């Protein structure tokens, strides 16, 4: 165990061994990430319905705080697509977009999310993230990607399109189709096409031209910057803003301001559940990015410490004019690929962004929103992967149902309903399956001491001994099922003298199931059949020994099923 | 499979073979049950805060409808203590006791409960009742018994005491202590003492006097009738109602009226959750009574058909001036003991009660409420059994926590919060346990082919082969746990060449866990360790074979752990 301060402040670990070489690596990575983050931060602020500077502010303090408290060496924390969408959904329920209340709600949401993450971290509740199954996460990310792309389509066409579900967005697009602005469409479609081409083909072309892998990669990642620069120059040079092309406009030239989230009890009550969902989704997304990147270098991530790092980052966002943040995939991969060696790269990125916030914001005045929307669409469409439906369909109908429900409900009823239903449904399906467990009647595989299902294998059996292997822990949701099963197996069969419950798959017997076993034992005794147990696991046996069940058991407890068979067969 | 009409109408089954002897048995039982039910119905109506006749009406139509649709031959359906308490709690949230709205809400609650039970029956959702664990039910019944007894204390003392939690009731009792009516206290305490004595000692005394078991039993059960008769005569003879003794007063002399539950959407919304809880609790109580009594005679209960029987009974109550009903323990036991052979006994009881409703109601005019309260207190205190706390404490802290939470929250926050929290907590604890399963490293028990935990048994092992037995199905809540576990076991150990996952306790591998297994396989392969599986169950193997996992697996799948050991040990 590390001393407790170092445990909560990983910076003390890597800071001690910081060298000149590491510094160079971190600085190079910081420059590359900064350039990439400027358009991305503006774009995600647009997605969240916030002024563009909020995206930049949300990238500065959080990245520094995560560098101090987080355990990943390369994770880049800031605004990300899914969390931006969830933020827009949550705060537009309590305030109108563009109002002061909307900004304040974003700060409060970040503060709540930060508080929730910190509390989860201190109480080591990182395991709660496991309640989001992989298929539910995959479905949710896919559906969010579709929603986000749809929501940005309006910007590409120059249409005011609002809404938090696919239906609302499509309705809004269709209703306002007459607002279409041809110049905006030209810019938007060209930028989208260009960015798709960059993503799909540029790297290969550059490699074919003999460029090294690293510069080719960086040039490819700089695609959005190029799109931003070219379209901004076009709008400025041709005065296209007077043709109806919506631009970013004036962005204050300032360091992140000190802000105070509003401490309004009613607002807190309204935002608590969204904040919880944002925290959990953000945490899951961030940890999976961090683990993927850590595995490459055989480093390890401590999920509970990650909660503290992300909590601090979100509190940082709340007090410096930002909104909820988490570890982003794209920015973290770029950071890692660019050679970032320690979290100091993040701190340098923050310095770069602070400089941008002061000096470069006038340059984006004429940046068309359509270009930002194009960068979002191209980025999120890579999240969309409907193959999860096909994969889960083949593997398990339960998993498929959970994915399908998550996707359909996220698209039609919004992100909050979608992900909550996905989680609840996957838990409910798991419990339902546990409530009717698979039970195999087993017999001896000839020439071995091994017992298998009589329906699947050629095995030896005896009419007076029934051996049942219950493939599930015994607990309240299936306790009654077991009673019915055993009694039904015996009904009308006079040859049976012994019932052996083979307990190799029984990992727990709770109090309800204990009562059911007592009932079964009594009922069998009353018709002169003995109940035996075999292969009871250590922890289960320990617990049974605290009760009178073993004294009352009409039969014996055997170490192995083979012992039971040898003893009981006539 | 029975023809479908007979399946939904069990009366067609037993009605066909109805004989003269059965008729006599049923008639005798009906007379005894009717006499017992008159005071009980009045008392439970008092508990529900409804006029006394509602209790009688709730015993007539429901008992007939259950006789037509239910599967138990002896279950007596009508008002019961716990459901009466839950009814009072639910409807006093939407209307003031004594108002017309209160009566209407009771009808609506019965209609909703009937509808829910019918729907559950048609969709065969009886298994949902299994989600109430035995300890939660025991805790809830105990806490309800305490609440009910406390709520009736006011009537025994002549004090107006209201409230739905123990705190409210005690506060109300203390505040109004000055209202104490000495004559009421005399009657109430005497009746309570007498009924306790009857319950504890009368039967034994009668048997000692040489009376047969059956008449002794009937006389004991008639205790409440005697208390009612004597105290009514006293009040009437001595004019004690003018001394402040509260009496039942005028009860309309009429058959059950035809009533229409109010179809108010807002009211339905408010009562839906309470109706759901009442339905589930009532169903669980009723089925457990029915199963206990059926087991005595080797009959069987069909839980899904029971839902239909109880649903019909509750709809009957809703349209004939009653309130939610279910199968009661005391009345059913009396019915069975008195020799009821078929549900026709229930129909005859209904006729008896209908006669009472027309002809006998004037006789209860001077019946003191204190006597009814005394019968309730004595009846419900037999439900109170705090030993469940001690039993679960010894057996399992998880079960203990669920019982304790149920009892404490039912007493302090009311029945609805109590039982809901109990259910949610027991599910959450189960999932928490599943999220960190027991994993044993196993070795060969010498001289056998059996593998057990190396920490508990003397077993053979080899440093190059690690065999892990995971004692839990692999699914999303523990998928990541397994990844961490396997990788941690291997870290820093260069001798290991093979990892065998012994799957005898793995009853399911869901899609999330499949992805985790793929990750484990890849990570092990990258450090040149092979992953093998052994004792994979049929259904799990079937599913794995639909994927590419088995092709990519670096090792083999062995039928038994012994095969794996023989093949892999160097």
pLDDT tens string B416-450: 889 889 988 998 888 888 888 888 899 999 988 88
pLDDT at A130: 81
Tell me the residues of chain A between 506 and 525 that have a Cβ less than 8 Å away from chain B.
506-508, 510-512, 514-515, 523
CA distance B513 to B410: 38
Question: CB–CB of B449 and A448 under 8 A?
Answer: yes
A465-482 in b/e form (b: 16+ CB < 10 A) is: bbbbbbbbbbbbbbbbbb
- DSSP β-bridge partners for residue A501: A468, A533
CA distance B529 to B486: 12
CA distance B130 to A134: 28
Q: Which helix (H) or strand (E) holds B32?
A: helix B20-47
Q: Is B559 part of the contact surface with chain A (CB cutoff 8 Å)?
A: yes
Question: How many angstroms separate the CA of residue A512 from the nearest CA in chain B?
Answer: 5
CA distance B537 to B125: 28
Sign of the torsion formed by the C-alpha atoms of B523, B525, B530 and B536: positive
Q: Which helix (H) or strand (E) holds B501?
A: strand B498-502
CA distance B37 to B59: 8
CB contact set of B287 (below 8 Å; sequence gap of 6+): B126, B129, B301, B303, B306, B327
B204-238 in b/e form (b: 16+ CB < 10 A) is: eebeeeeeeeeebbbebbbbbeebbeebbebbeee
pLDDT at A1: 41
Do residues A148 and A81 touch, judged by C-beta distance below 8 A? yes
Mean pLDDT of chain B: 89
Strands (DSSP E) along A228-379, which ranges? 326-327
HEC-encoded secondary structure of A548-562: CHHHHCCCCEECCHH
CB atoms within 10 A of CB B268: 17
CB atoms within 10 A of CB A214: 11
Strand pairing report for B451-453 and B498-502: unpaired
Q: Is A133 part of the contact surface with chain B (CB cutoff 8 Å)?
A: yes
Question: CB–CB of B391 and A480 under 8 A?
Answer: no
Residue B1 pLDDT class (50, 70, 90 cuts): very low
pLDDT averaged over 10-residue windows placed end to end, chain A, 570 residues: 61 75 84 86 92 93 92 89 93 89 95 96 86 88 91 90 88 90 93 91 86 79 87 92 88 90 92 94 89 73 90 96 91 81 87 90 90 90 89 90 94 90 89 86 90 89 92 87 84 86 90 91 88 92 92 93 91
CA distance B386 to B370: 26
Best to test chain A binding among B437, B470, B511 (most A CBs inside 10 Å): B511
Strand pairing report for A530-534 and A557-558: parallel
CB atoms within 10 A of CB A152: 28
Task: Domain A439-568: give its CATH architecture.
Answer: 2-Layer Sandwich (3.30)
CA distance B101 to B271: 13
Question: Which residue, among B116, B133, B81, B126, has the nearest Cα to B306 in the 3D structure?
Answer: B126
Question: CB–CB of A511 and B473 under 8 A?
Answer: no
Do residues B323 and B80 touch, judged by C-beta distance below 8 A? no
Q: Which helix (H) or strand (E) holds A110?
A: helix A100-122
CA distance B484 to A51: 42
Q: Is B454 part of the contact surface with chain A (CB cutoff 8 Å)?
A: no
Output the six-digit token pair for A72. 């990943």
- Going from the C-alpha of A283 to that of each of A115, A127, B199, the distances in angstroms are 13, 11, 61
CB contact set of B153 (below 8 Å; sequence gap of 6+): B159, B161, B169, B173, B373, B377
CB atoms within 10 A of CB A18: 14
A472: which chain B residues are within 8 Å (Cβ-Cβ)? 473, 507
pLDDT at A56: 93
CB atoms within 10 A of CB A280: 20
Question: CB–CB of B477 and A130 under 8 A?
Answer: yes
* B448, B471, B476: residue with CB nearest A130: B476
Residue A530, classed as helix, strand or coil, is: strand
Instruction: Tell me what ipTM this predicted complex has.
Output: 0.80
Question: How many angstroms separate the CA of residue A493 from the nearest CA in chain B?
Answer: 15
Do residues B557 and B526 touch, judged by C-beta distance below 8 A? no
Q: Which helix (H) or strand (E) holds A145?
A: helix A134-157
pLDDT at B2: 47
Q: Is A539 part of the contact surface with chain B (CB cutoff 8 Å)?
A: yes
Tell me the residues of chain B between 325 and 354 that have a Cβ less than 8 Å away from chain A.
none
Q: Half-sphere exposure of residue B74, counting CA atoms within 13 Å on the CB side?
A: 30
Q: Is A298 part of the contact surface with chain B (CB cutoff 8 Å)?
A: no
Q: What angle, 0 to 180 degrees and rounded to 10, lies between the N-to-C axes of helices A415-435 and A397-413?
A: 160
B547: which chain A residues are within 8 Å (Cβ-Cβ)? 394-395
Question: CB–CB of B127 and A559 under 8 A?
Answer: no
Residue by residue, DSSP assigns A4-15 as HHHHH-THHHHH
Question: How many angstroms separate the CA of residue B178 from the nearest CA in chain A?
Answer: 41
Q: How far apart are the first and last CA of chain B?
A: 57
* A131, A399, A515: residue with CB nearest B511: A399
- Going from the C-alpha of B377 to that of each of A238, B193, B217, the distances in angstroms are 89, 11, 20
Centroid of chain to Cα A380: 15
Strand pairing report for B465-470 and B451-453: unpaired
Q: pLDDT, tens digit, for every residue of B114-125? A: 999 999 999 988
CB atoms within 10 A of CB A380: 24
pLDDT at B5: 66
pLDDT at B7: 67
pLDDT at A37: 87
Q: Half-sphere exposure of residue B64, counting CA atoms within 13 Å on the CB side?
A: 16
A238-272 in b/e form (b: 16+ CB < 10 A) is: eebbeeebbbbeebeeeebeebebeeeeebbebbe
Q: Is A426 part of the contact surface with chain B (CB cutoff 8 Å)?
A: yes
H-state helical runs in A299-368: 303-319, 329-337, 344-355
In the predicted model, is pLDDT for residue B477 greater than 70? yes
Domains in chain A: boundaries: 18-387, 399-435, 439-568
Q: Which helix (H) or strand (E) holds A453?
A: strand A451-453
Question: Which residue, among A442, A30, A473, A104, has the nearest Cα to B471 in the 3D structure?
Answer: A473
- Going from the C-alpha of B253 to that of each of A244, B53, B325, the distances in angstroms are 82, 9, 22
Give the length of chain B: 570
């Amino acid at each position: 165990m590390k001393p407790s301060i170092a445990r909560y402040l990983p910076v003390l670990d890597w800071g001690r061994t910081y060298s000149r070489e590491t510094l160079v690596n971190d600085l190079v990575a910081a420059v590359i990430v900064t350039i990439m983050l400027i358009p991305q931060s503006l774009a995600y602020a647009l997605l969240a319905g916030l002024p563009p500077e909020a995206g930049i502010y949300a990238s500065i303090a959080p990245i520094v705080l995560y560098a101090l408290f987080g355990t990943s060496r390369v994770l880049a924390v800031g605004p990300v697509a899914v969390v931006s969408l969830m933020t827009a959904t949550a705060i537009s329920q309590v305030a109108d977009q563009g109002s002061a209340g909307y900004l304040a709600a974003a700060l409060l949401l970040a503060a709540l999310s930060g508080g929730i993450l910190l509390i989860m971290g201190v109480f080591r509740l990182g395991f709660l993230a496991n309640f989001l199954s992989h298929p539910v996460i995959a479905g949710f990310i896919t559906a969010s990607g579709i929603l986000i792309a749809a929501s940005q389509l309006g910007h590409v066409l120059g249409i005011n399109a609002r809404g938090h579900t696919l239906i609302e967005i499509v309705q809004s697009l269709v209703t306002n189709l007459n607002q279409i602005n041809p110049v905006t469409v030209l810019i938007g479609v060209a930028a989208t096409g260009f960015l798709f081409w960059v993503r799909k083909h540029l790297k290969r072309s550059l490699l074919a031209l003999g460029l090294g892998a690293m510069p080719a990669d960086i040039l490819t990642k700089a695609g959005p910057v190029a799109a931003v620069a070219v379209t901004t120059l076009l709008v400025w040079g041709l005065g296209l803003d007077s043709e109806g092309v919506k631009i970013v406009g004036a962005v204050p030239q300032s360091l992140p301001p000190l802000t105070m989230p509003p401490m309004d009890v009613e607002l807190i009550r309204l935002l608590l559940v969204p904040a919880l969902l944002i925290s959990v989704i953000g945490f899951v997304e961030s940890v999976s990015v961090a683990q993927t990147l850590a595995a490459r270098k055989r480093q390890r991530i401590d999920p509970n410490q990650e909660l503290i790092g992300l909590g601090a980052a979100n509190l940082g966002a709340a007090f410096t004019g930002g909104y909820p943040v988490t570890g982003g995939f794209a920015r973290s991969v770029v950071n890692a690929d660019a050679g970032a060696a320690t979290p100091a790269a993040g701190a340098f990125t923050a310095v770069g962004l602070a400089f941008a916030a002061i000096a470069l914001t006038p340059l984006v005045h004429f940046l068309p929103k359509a270009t930002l929307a194009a960068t979002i669409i191209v980025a999120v469409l890579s999240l969309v992967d409907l193959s999860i439906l096909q994969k889960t369909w083949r593997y398990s109908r339960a998993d498929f149902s959970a994915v399908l429900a998550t996707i359909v409900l996220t698209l039609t009823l919004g992100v909050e309903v979608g992900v909550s239903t996905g989680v609840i449904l996957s838990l409910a399906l798991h419990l339902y399956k546990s409530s009717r467990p698979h039970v195999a009647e087993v017999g001896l595989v000839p020439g071995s001491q091994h017992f298998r299902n009589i329906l699947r294998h050629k095995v030896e059996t005896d009419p007076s001994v029934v051996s049942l292997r219950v493939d599930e822990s015994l607990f309240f949701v299936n306790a009654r099922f077991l009673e019915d099963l055993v009694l039904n197996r015996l009904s009308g069969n006079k040859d049976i003298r012994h019932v052996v419950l083979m307990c190799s798959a029984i990992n727990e017997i709770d109090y309800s199931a204990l009562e059911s076993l007592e009932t079964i034992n009594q009922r069998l005794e009353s018709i002169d059949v003995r109940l035996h147990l075999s292969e009871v696991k250590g922890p289960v046996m320990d617990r049974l020994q605290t009760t009178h069940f073993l004294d009352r058991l009409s039969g014996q407890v055997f170490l192995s099923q083979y012992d039971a068979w040898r003893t009981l067969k006539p």
